[in-house]
Amino acid sequence: MSTNPEPNSPPSPAPSPAPNPAPPPILSVRDLRVRIGQSSILQGVGFDVAPTGTTALLGRNGVGKTTTVRAVLGLLPEEGEVTGGTVRLDGEDVTGHRTHTVVRRGVGYVPEDRGVFGSLTVAENLTLAERAGGPHHYDLVHDLFPELKARRAQRAGTLSGGQQQMVALARALLNDNRLVIVDEPTKGLAPRVVTEVAEVLQRAAERVPVLLVEQNLAVVRRLARDAVVLDAGRTVHTGDAAALLADRERTTSLLGVGRHERPERSGQQAGERPGEREQREHATKETT
Amino acid sequence: MSTLVLLTLTGLGLGALYFLIASGLALIFGLMDVLNFAHGAFLTVSAYAAWRTAETVGGTGGLALAALVGTATGALLAIVVELVLIRRLYGRPREQILVTVGLSLAVPALVQAVWGADSRPFPVPDALSGTVGVLGAQVPVSRFVLIAAALLVLAAVNLFLSRTRYGLIVRAGVEDRAMVTALGIDVTRAFTLVFAIGGALAGLAGVLGGLYFGSLSPHQGTSLLVFAFVVVVIGGMGSIPGVALSALAVGLVQQYANYYVDGYGDFAVVVLLAAVVLARPAPRLAGGVA
């Protein structure tokens, strides 16, 4: 379990001993502690997100990945609170700030359940996401998701799961962001759609750093440069993603792959729309 | 036939009144999960402010000014209540209910202390006090004023919801408030705005209630609020078209039952409520606004 003796010390983002110092992280979380109701969900989460590329946040179900993301964004449920630690976005302390103020500093967020407004049209979902004062990259969005342009007048609730995920990603990429946080974007999607989402994320990561919560290790292998692993509300590993995934013993002990789950987890889903019950159960596990 | 026409138009007028009160309640609940029991108090205070204005100025112009004053009073009162009391209590439904119920008791008592418990005649200008012959029935002009006002409000609220950015925020917020904030939007401003709109409509309802009943009393708002809540429960929290249809149904059922079943109008409304609630497969607490 203790692959990293000091989980809350800053990890070294540069895997090779480069002579020039590493650029400062875009997001820096230190010793984050969160209580929800009577339960301590996070008991010391710390990691950095590099200012370029994709950082994967990994761990088994219920270890606190979604809670970590939500705490960063000030989106904890009513009975939840940050009891310790700091969150710095581009060097500025945003710990405990209200969600819209954190987001306005330049964060795009794609939640686990996608958070698409089903009664609004695709175009209205995007209009709502337009942040004041910044350029809105409709050219990029329509280039990445030509289908959304064709379906702009359609109610988002009538789209397939994969199309809804495209709406959610499009909203996050519409503005000039300093960081995009994406929580389990491939969950419950058909393998073909998983590939599409991964391609979009790969192109997105060329423009903006991405913090990616993901269970599908094939997607992680393809996208992530750095990896952070949580277990029982603590950071237990930070380092190079490829090195972690190549180490079978470590992935088994940290992620439970091979014992509890197959690595191509979401590939098992046949349909594009995940069962609502499964999603709710999953969400409950993640946040409580 | 003429009785049926009169009952129907009177029922529609009453339904229009219910719609004005219930649409604000539905928007406030849909967006903020706040059950605003103080809504009736907004109505009562606005009605008295309008009454003072209409008495002072007089005539049709006085009534028009009274409608403006009443609407503005309702909006202002709602903004103050939202900023000073409700804002601190988001996510704390028990405290919200205590505060709004407290207001719903205290404000009528205050009004009663100032203007007395007796109902006062509301000055209806001559132009509106007559009747119009419709299919043999003599229908008071004020009924048509109420119906027209409700239709205008329905159109205006729909325009607001479908054509403005704040309307978009409200519709999205009714569905998933947290996600709206996660797009960088400060929903508390939308909260204040929706409270102000709800208060303004309650204020207008206070003025039109004076016109409809020809009088006003400190507890008018509270008794109308009961039926407005019934309308909201039947029509669906957060659904404006649903509330409009439900307000029509409640107003008509109440009028028909009052006449044909010997004054059992209120009871018939309760039966309608029970029938709808029991027949509904699942609670419609979350629905689209437009």
- CA-nearest of B43, B242, B12 to B150 is B12
Q: Per-residue pLDDT tens for B204-240?
A: 999 999 988 989 999 888 889 999 999 999 888 768 8
Question: Measured between alpha carbons, how far is A130 from A128 in angstroms, rounded to an integer?
Answer: 6
Strand extents, DSSP E, A17-75: 27-36, 39-49, 54-58
> In terms of Cα–Cα distance, which of A239, A256, A252, A217 is closest to A60?
A256
Sign of the CA dihedral with B250 first, then B252, B258, and B261 last: negative
End-to-end CA distance of chain A: 22
pLDDT > 60? residue A74: yes
Domain that holds residue B211: 2-279
Enumerate residues 199 to 258 of chain A having a beta carbon within 8 A of any beta carbon in chain B. none
Using DSSP's 3-state secondary structure scheme, residue A159 falls into: coil
Residue A122, classified by CB atoms within 10 Å of its CB into exposed (0-12), middle (13-18) or buried (19+), is: buried
**Yes or no, beta carbons of B181 and A99 under 8 Å apart:** yes
Predicted confidence at residue B67, as pLDDT, reads 93
CB within 8 Å: A115 and B169 = no
**B120-159 pLDDT, tens per residue?**
998 888 888 888 888 888 888 888 889 999 999 999 999 9
Flag if B288 and A78 touch (Cβ within 8 Å). Answer: no
Q: Which pLDDT score, from 0 to 100, does residue B106 have?
A: 93
Query: Of the CATH numbers 3.40.50.10490, 3.40.50.300, 3.30.160.250, 2.60.40.420, which one belongs to the domain with range A27-115+179-287?
Result: 3.40.50.300
Once rounded to an integer, what is the mean pLDDT over residues B23-46? 90
Identify the CA nearest to A117 among candidates A164, A84, A162: A164
Is 90 exceeded by the pLDDT of residue A267? no
- Domain CATH for B78: 1.10.3470
Element containing residue B279 per DSSP (H, E): helix B265-279
In a domain, B285, yes or no: no
> What per-residue string of b and e applies to A170-193 under the rule 16 or more CB within 10 Å gives b?
bbbbbbebebbbbbbbbbbbbbeb
Binning pLDDT at 50, 70 and 90, where does residue A108 land?
very high
How many Cβ atoms are within 10 Å of B138's Cβ, its own excluded? 12
* Per-residue confidence (pLDDT) for residue B196, from 0 to 100: 95
B137: part of which helix (H) or strand (E)? strand B137-140
With beta carbons under 8 A apart, name residues in chain A contacting B187.
100
How large is the ipTM?
0.80
* pTM of this structure: 0.82
Asked if B172 and A128 come within 8 Å (Cβ–Cβ), the reply is: yes
Judge contact between B74 and B206, C-beta under 8 A.
yes
In order, the DSSP letters of A94-129 are -TT--HHHHHHTTEEEE-TT----TTSBHHHHHHHH
Mean pLDDT of B269-285: 78
Average pLDDT of A87-101? 94
In 3D space, the residue among B16, B19, B15 whose CA is nearest the CA of residue B254 turns out to be B15
* Residue A19: per-residue pLDDT: 55
Residue A285 has pLDDT above 70, yes or no: no
Minimum Cα–Cα distance from B189: chain A residue:
A100
Q: Give B176-200 pLDDT, tens digit per residue.
A: 989 999 999 999 899 899 999 999 9
More confident position, A12 or B168: B168
- Which residues on B lie below 8 Å from A131 (Cβ)? 183-184
* Contact yes or no for B288 and A115 at CB 8 A: no
pLDDT exceeds 50 at position B290: no
Smallest Cβ–Cβ distance between B91 and the set A78, A129, A131 belongs to A78
Region of poorest pLDDT, from A215-219, A239-243, B184-188, B259-263: B259-263
Task: Decide if pLDDT at A287 tops 50.
Answer: no
> Do B273 and B234 touch, CB atoms closer than 8 A?
yes
The region of weakest confidence among A207-216, A262-271, B272-281 is: A262-271
pLDDT tier for residue B282 given thresholds of 50, 70 and 90: low
Cβ–Cβ < 8 Å for A129, A177: no
* Cα distance between residue B16 and residue A37, in whole Å: 45
| Summary count for chain A: helices (H), strands (E) | 11, 10
Using alpha carbons, list the distances in angstroms from residue A124 to A116, B165, B238.
10, 10, 19
pLDDT at A14: 45
pLDDT of residue A266: 43
Is there a contact between A239 and A6 (Cβ–Cβ < 8 Å)? no
Which residue of chain A has the CA closest to B163? A124
Q: Which of B164, B177, B179 to mutate to test the interface with A (most CBs of A within 10 A)?
A: B179
Q: Higher pLDDT residue, A26 or B123?
A: A26
Residue B30 — very low, low, confident or very high, per pLDDT cuts 50/70/90? Answer: confident
- Residue B82: partners with Cβ closer than 8 Å, 6 or more residues away: B191, B192, B195, B196
Tell how far CA A152 is from the center of its chain: 26
- Tell me the two tokens of residue A172: 């996050």
- Rounded to an integer, the average pLDDT of B251-275 is 87
The dihedral region occupied by A188, where left means phi > 0, alpha psi between -120 and 50, and beta the remainder, is: left
- According to DSSP, the β-strands at B215-216 and B120-121 are antiparallel
For residue B91, which residues of chain A lie inside 8 Å, CB to CB? 78
Instruction: State which residue of chain B sits closest to A76, comparing Cα positions.
Output: B178
Contact list, A128 vs chain B (CB under 8 Å): 168-169, 172, 180, 183, 185
What are the extents of the domains in chain A?
27-115+179-287
Q: Is residue B284 part of a domain?
A: no
- Looking at the 3D structure of chain B, how many domains does it have? 1
pLDDT in tens, A128-173: 999 988 899 999 999 999 999 999 999 999 999 999 999 999 999 9
* Contact assignment for A131 to B184 by CB distance below 8 Å: yes
pLDDT over threshold 80, residue A17: no
Distance CA B239, CA A53 (A): 44
Tens-digit pLDDT profile for residues A122-138: 999 999 999 988 899 99
Q: Which residue of A has its CA nearest to B89?
A: A78
For residues A93-103, average pLDDT: 94
Q: Which two tokens stand for residue A83?
A: 């009891």
Among candidate residues B160, B207, B205, the one with its CA nearest the CA of residue B31: B160
